[in-house]
């Protein structure tokens, strides 16, 4: 971590913080006054996972719509972010978040659905790529991919795989009236 922060940084204090089920997370208080949030793997490192998360955070931050921690460093074993303080929510926090999300969606409209970089859902790779419509993106890159992952771990003819595959086929019919534009989203938001 010292190399990622510029070599000579003294850690004054470290504090374990929650960060989901797959990461070990800590907040570091540095002698120079900085505070950083660090994620490391509880298990074997997953190639590209932290780099993909850093890329997504940088894209969201570029919209300047909601507070997003600045990325300090990312590699296969470590993600360092600016540590944000947890504030006391005001009485209008839900409305403010809703307005921020609406502004995020307005400022990050894209011509196609997807992303140039694959990312992850937990430890599982999540393929992206570009699609001209939301339904085909959802069919192949989200629901279809998850069905394939589950099908590879269960027996042939599994009832859940069959039901999900039937749902996947009906998506164009079920979602035909939905013409939402392509926008950036982040699963941990």
Predicted confidence at residue 122, as pLDDT, reads 86
Predicted confidence at residue 188, as pLDDT, reads 65
Same domain, 30 and 66: yes
Same domain, 61 and 120: no
Residue 92 lies in a domain: no
Pairwise CA distance, residues 9 & 12, whole Å: 9
Cβ neighbours, 10 Å, residue 113:
21
Residue 6 lies in a domain: no
pLDDT tens by residue, the chain, 189 residues: 777 777 667 889 999 998 677 899 999 999 888 899 999 998 888 899 999 999 999 999 999 998 899 999 999 999 999 999 888 889 999 999 899 999 999 999 999 999 999 999 888 899 999 999 888 998 999 999 999 999 999 999 999 999 999 999 999 998 876 677 899 887 766
Same domain, 16 and 77: yes
Q: Which residue range forms the structural domain that includes residue 16?
A: 11-82
Pick from 29, 20, 27: nearest CA to 49: 20
Radius of gyration of the chain from its Cα atoms, rounded to whole angstroms? 20
Residue 150 lies in a domain: yes
Predicted confidence at residue 153, as pLDDT, reads 94
Same domain, 73 and 116: no
Model pLDDT for residues 112-160, shown as the tens digit of each residue = 999 999 999 888 899 999 999 888 998 999 999 999 999 999 999 999 9
Residue 100 lies in a domain: no
Indicate the number of domains in the chain: 2
pTM of the model: 0.87
Predicted confidence at residue 178, as pLDDT, reads 66
Pairwise CA distance, residues 41 & 170, whole Å: 38
Same domain, 20 and 69: yes
Catalytic residue positions, numbered: 188
Containing H/E element for 154? none
Residue 179 lies in a domain: no
Q: Kind of pairing, strands 11-17 and 71-74?
A: unpaired
76, 48 Cβ separation under 8 angstroms: yes
Residue 1 lies in a domain: no
Residue 96 lies in a domain: no
CATH number, domain of 49, equals 3.30.200.20
Q: Is 81 exposed, middle or buried (0-12, 13-18, 19+ CB in 10 A)?
A: buried
Predicted confidence at residue 56, as pLDDT, reads 93
Residue 128 lies in a domain: yes
**139 alpha carbon, distance to own chain's centre:** 19
Same domain, 125 and 72: no
Predicted confidence at residue 5, as pLDDT, reads 79
């Amino acid at each position: 971590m010292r190399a990622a922060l510029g070599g000579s940084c003294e850690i004054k204090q470290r504090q374990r913080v929650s960060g989901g089920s797959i990461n070990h997370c800590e907040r570091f208080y540095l002698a120079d006054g900085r505070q950083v949030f660090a994620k490391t793997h509880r298990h074997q490192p997953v190639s590209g996972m932290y780099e993909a998360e850093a890329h997504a955070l940088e894209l969201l931050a570029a919209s300047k719509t909601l507070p997003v921690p600045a990325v300090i460093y990312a590699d296969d074993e470590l993600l360092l972010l600016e540590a944000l303080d947890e504030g006391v929510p005001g009485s209008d926090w839900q409305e403010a978040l809703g307005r921020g999300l609406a502004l995020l969606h307005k400022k990050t409209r894209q011509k196609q659905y997807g992303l140039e970089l694959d990312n992850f859902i937990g430890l599982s790779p999540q393929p992206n790529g570009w699609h001209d419509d939301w339904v085909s993106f959802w069919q192949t890159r989200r629901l279809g991919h998850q069905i394939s992952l589950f099908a590879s771990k269960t027996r042939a003819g599994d009832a859940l795989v069959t039901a999900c595959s039937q749902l996947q086929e009906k998506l164009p019919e079920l979602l035909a009236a939905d013409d939402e534009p392509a926008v950036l989203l982040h699963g941990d938001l």
